[in-house]
Amino acid sequence: MSERTPQLGSGEILCAEIITIGDEILRGEIVDSNKALMSERLHDVEVETRFHTSVLDHPGEMADAFRRAVSRADVILVSGGLGPTRDDLTTEVLAETFDRKLELDEASLETIRRFFSNLGREMSENNTKQAFFPQEAEVLANPVGTAPGFMLEVEKGEGRVALIFAMPGVPRELSLMLEEQVLPRVLRRMNHGANPNGGRAMRARLLRTFGLGESSLDAELQHFARDAEMELGFRTAFPDNYLRPVVRAASAEEAEARLEEACRHIRDHLGDVVYGEGDETMAAAVGRLLTEHGATIATAESCTGGLVAEKLTEIPGSSAYVMGGVVAYANEIKAAQLGVPEALLEAHGAVSEPVAAAMAEGVRERFRTDFGVSTSGISGPDGGTPEKPVGTVCIALARKGAETHVERFVFPLDRIRHRTLTAQVALDWVRRSLLGIELVGPSLLRRRGGAAPPAAGGDRK
């Protein structure tokens, strides 16, 4: 890049648009996960994606989308429509829209020919099409497929340009081209002073919470200062809620420091409702704490049917602390495999505090672990009684050297969500126990007696 490199962007943070092309996307035949991948990687290099657009394999609508993107974005990622068939139109339409001729690139043609001969096949004539590119385009190699991509620099007026990257739609090919060809080119342009914003930095972090509803979280954080430099995003991923502080600052150091401060502020207000950061799931957080304490666990599940064990063992390395568990769906199994006294089952029924406690204690004893966790409930849709309606569940945690904790809840949710929430409460109790903090249920849902428990974060400020 020389000093003559035209300016990319308008002086703010670089703005991107992602355009994916293909009838199959608009018909809903595929979930277009390429967009999330591209957005995430752009976000990582501090380019802000402002628009996602998908259009049919239709020249007029493709051209409209390309023109609009150039008018409002600095970096434009296009995927799809580079294949050999008649309905693959991206290259032609880009060339026509931005007044370029199509030119054959001999090197690309040779590469495509070799790709086929390596597979022991003859190149079909229509693959020749994939070696044509708009004039002045820079070819982007595709080592895992036949369709090379390309970069096109387009004038936006006022001495500024936009960069258009055309990539194949096959996720594996796109992913590799994005990493190896596209992002390095974007970064190079950002770092060559072509963009006065090259110095500005953005930092973000995902904080994972469990136990408070979205509006309660929002209320708890109402004094959190928000402006153009400091955003706070909310997202629900049942049964969790995620918070995402995003900070912009003049330097990476300053952004990092302000983000750290924001996260501290949030944790101070919400306390242990924040259980993890980034991609650390509840089961991973529990696993980390069990490992730190050198403790072991076993599960005794009725209504969750294996979900708690499944979540715990999904984590790599979990065999160090998970001994195993029993899915005790039938009452005979609760008695035979967990040693729950028949008399207890008869007196209180399977969905009761005494039985849940006996299950947790039974599995802890038989599996010789530090923790034993149990669930017994009615996830529905059938099986409720006036006294124990559908949604009733008893959860128990048996612990070495401490009393067994057991509670009854009513979660008025469908079967899947009932199981999901029950499993998360069980795991959260193990986490809370290891942290030495109060075992509370989710405030979003009713506890026995009808009164909501105190907001898990609200009473500790």
Task: Choose which of 299, 352, 376, 392 interacts with its own copies (CB under 8 A).
Answer: 299
Please say which residue, 43 or 192, places its beta carbon nearer to its own copies.
Answer: 43
Least distance (Å) between residue 78 CB and its own copies: 14
Place of tokens 């954080």: 221
Contacts of 249 (CB under 8 A, 6+ apart): 200, 201, 203, 229, 255, 258
CA separation for the pair 370, 291 (Å, rounded): 12
Please say which residue, 124 or 135, places its beta carbon nearer to its own copies.
Answer: 124
Number of residues interacting with its own copies: please give it, by CB under 8 A: 106
Task: Choose which of 131, 243, 326, 340 interacts with its own copies (CB under 8 A).
Answer: 326
Site for its own copies contains 192 (CB under 8 A):
no
Residue pair 361/340 in contact (Cβ under 8 Å)? The answer is: no
Task: Choose which of 149, 287, 325, 441 interacts with its own copies (CB under 8 A).
Answer: 325
Find the angle CA(264)-CA(45)-CA(252) to the nearest 5 degrees.
45
128 HSE (CA, 13 A, CB side): 5
Task: Choose which of 305, 341, 384, 458 interacts with its own copies (CB under 8 A).
Answer: 305
Give the range of 92-100, 131-139, 262-270, 317-325 binding its own copies by CB under 8 A: 317-325
What length does the chain have? 461
Please say which residue, 4 or 86, places its beta carbon nearer to its own copies.
Answer: 86
Per CB under 8 A, contacts with its own copies among 217-246 are 218-219, 231, 233-236, 244
CA separation for the pair 111, 107 (Å, rounded): 6
Site for its own copies contains 38 (CB under 8 A):
yes
Per CB under 8 A, contacts with its own copies among 246-265 are none
CA separation for the pair 309, 372 (Å, rounded): 11
* Three-state SS at 237: strand
- For 89, 272, 327, 433, the CA distances from 459, given in Å and listed in that order, are 60, 11, 36, 18
Residue pair 212/241 in contact (Cβ under 8 Å)? The answer is: yes
Give the range of 1-9, 95-103, 306-314, 424-432 binding its own copies by CB under 8 A: 306-314
Task: Choose which of 25, 286, 290, 393 interacts with its own copies (CB under 8 A).
Answer: 25
**Closest to 262 (Cα-Cα) out of 278, 247, 277, 250:** 247
Per CB under 8 A, contacts with its own copies among 372-391 are 380-383
Q: Are strands 371-377 and 392-399 parallel, antiparallel or unpaired?
A: antiparallel
Phi, psi of 365 (to 5 degrees): -70, -50
DSSP for 215-229, please give it: HHHHHHTTTS--BTT
Find the angle CA(395)-CA(399)-CA(402) to the nearest 5 degrees.
110
Which two tokens mark 352? 């009761």
Task: Choose which of 2, 4, 28, 158 interacts with its own copies (CB under 8 A).
Answer: 28
Give the range of 94-102, 178-186, 270-278, 328-336 binding its own copies by CB under 8 A: 328-336
Task: Choose which of 121, 157, 292, 402 interacts with its own copies (CB under 8 A).
Answer: 121
Per CB under 8 A, contacts with its own copies among 346-375 are 366-368
Per CB under 8 A, contacts with its own copies among 70-99 are 83-87
CA separation for the pair 310, 409 (Å, rounded): 22
Task: Choose which of 5, 7, 10, 26 interacts with its own copies (CB under 8 A).
Answer: 26
Per CB under 8 A, contacts with its own copies among 399-458 are 412, 415-416, 419, 443-447, 450-452
Site for its own copies contains 60 (CB under 8 A):
no
Least distance (Å) between residue 54 CB and its own copies: 4
Residue pair 11/197 in contact (Cβ under 8 Å)? The answer is: yes
Instruction: Quote the crossing angle between the two packed helices 59-72 and 90-97, to the nearest 10°.
Output: 60
Least distance (Å) between residue 330 CB and its own copies: 5
Site for its own copies contains 292 (CB under 8 A):
no
Give the range of 133-141, 327-335, 339-347, 399-407 binding its own copies by CB under 8 A: 327-335
Please say which residue, 223 or 368, places its beta carbon nearer to its own copies.
Answer: 368
